[in-house]
């Protein structure tokens, strides 16, 4: 195990802000993960586990302990219907999705183009365009820091809900994800339920293939600067910065009334039984933070209202200042407190 010191973290994130890690280890095996855990325990250092760096904001002061980057790779698959795919936590997520599509296996094709690693997807129950990873995750292999044992947590053990799991709520910091196992269906048609996808394929007489659906998702994401493209400033973000609020019926009716007094209509769709999920992007834009908004160093993506972007010289403090400003304005106008989606590191 190689322990490096004072390693800059900003280059390891998609937002490109933040200070250094006091100590840094890149682990390619479970044994190296264990060695890193022993290292922090023996020195009483705080530990942060880093995946693909796509959904986090690192503080300007960095991380005072050890940052452990999980780089465990390896993909296997078995069975016929369904097919069980296993992937190391350090595998690139989009490349893994591409492989499942090549094998004509449905279930995660709409999650194409999402930056980050396989191990990061269960943490916030990654979802997009009508699919969530929890729909296909069979189990998650972890190292339990409470007793040092390796365990296999079944899907029901993970407490998956909208953008949450036990890994970022009740058991935050307890488990290090080593591998994720998925159950996918061979030969099933793609999931074309999301409005953007339906619009993309409108007028076609045949059902799109999984490969065509994957390409459509990537093109749609690219149009919103949600696909990492070298040289595109609007990609210098942490993805969607705010979660879509899920409201009860009374809360939704109150919001609807506020909108109607302004001559506006709330775009929404039923979610979680009697609740409604409301577009955070709509709330942001109708609070004065339109696409392309900029204060010089940080701003809003020109293609997606939920992406706070680093215009090139931003610090983490600049990002959080804009986040706070947006939250306060949305609360003032709409009576809703937006919840930030990225993980905050070192604050």
Nearest residue to 168 (alpha-carbon basis) of 109, 243, 268, 236: 243
Q: Which of 32, 91, 132, 341 is catalytic?
A: 341
Residue 131 β-bridge partners: 128
34 part of the active site: no
- Cα angle 13-15-20, degrees, rounded to a multiple of 5: 50
Sequence-ordered strand ranges (E) for 40-117: 47-50, 56-58, 63-70, 75-78, 83-88, 105-106
Residues in contact with 147: Cβ distance below 8 Å, sequence separation at least 6, in sequence order: none
Q: Which of 117, 163, 287, 301 is catalytic?
A: 163
Residue 212 β-bridge partners: none
Supply the DSSP string of 211-267, one letter for each residue.
Answer: HHHHHHHHHHHHHTT-S--TT-GGG-B-S--BPPPEE-HHHHHHHHHHHHHTT----
163 part of the active site: yes
CA 63 to chain centre: 21
218 part of the active site: no
Residue where the block lists tokens 């690139």:
92
Q: Which of 59, 112, 240, 287 is catalytic?
A: 240
Which residues participate in catalysis according to the annotation? 163, 240, 341
């Amino acid at each position: 195990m190689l322990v490096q010191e004072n390693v800059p973290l900003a280059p390891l994130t998609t937002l490109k802000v933040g200070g250094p890690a006091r100590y840094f280890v890149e682990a390619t095996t479970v044994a190296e993960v264990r060695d890193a855990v022993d290292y922090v325990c023996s020195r009483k250092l705080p530990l942060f586990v880093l995946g693909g760096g796509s959904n986090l904001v690192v503080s300007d002061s960095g991380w005072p302990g050890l940052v452990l980057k999980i780089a465990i790779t390896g993909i296997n698959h078995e069975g016929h219907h369904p097919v069980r795919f296993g992937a190391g936590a350090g595998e690139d997520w989009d490349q893994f999705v591409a492989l499942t599509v090549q094998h004509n296996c449905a279930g995660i094709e709409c999650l194409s183009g999402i930056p980050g690693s396989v191990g990061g997807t269960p943490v916030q129950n990654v979802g997009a365009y009508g699919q969530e990873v929890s729909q296909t995750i069979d189990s998650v292999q972890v190292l339990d820091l409470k007793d040092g044992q390796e365990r296999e947590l079944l899907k029901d053990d993970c407490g998956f809900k909208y953008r949450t799991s036990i890994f970022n709520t009740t058991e935050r910091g307890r488990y290090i994800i080593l591998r994720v196992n998925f159950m996918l269906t061979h030969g099933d048609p793609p999931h074309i339920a999301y409005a953007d996808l339906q619009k993309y394929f409108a007028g076609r007489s045949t059902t799109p293939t999984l490969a065509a659906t994957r390409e459509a998702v990537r093109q749609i994401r690219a149009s919103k600067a949600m696909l990492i493209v070298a040289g595109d400033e609007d990609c210098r973000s942490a993805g969607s910065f705010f979660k879509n609020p899920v409201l009860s019926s009374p809360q939704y009716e109150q919001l609807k009334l506020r909108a109607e007094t302004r001559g506006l209509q709330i775009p929404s769709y039923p979610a979680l039984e009697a609740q409604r999920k409301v577009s955070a992007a709509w709330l942001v834009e109708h609070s004065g933070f339109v696409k392309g908004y900029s204060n010089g160093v940080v701003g809003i993506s020109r293609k997606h209202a939920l992406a706070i972007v680093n215009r090139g010289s931003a610090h983490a403090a600049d990002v959080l200042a804009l986040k706070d400003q947006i939250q306060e304005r949305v609360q003032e106008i709409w009576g809703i407190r937006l919840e930030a989606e990225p993980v905050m590191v070192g604050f």
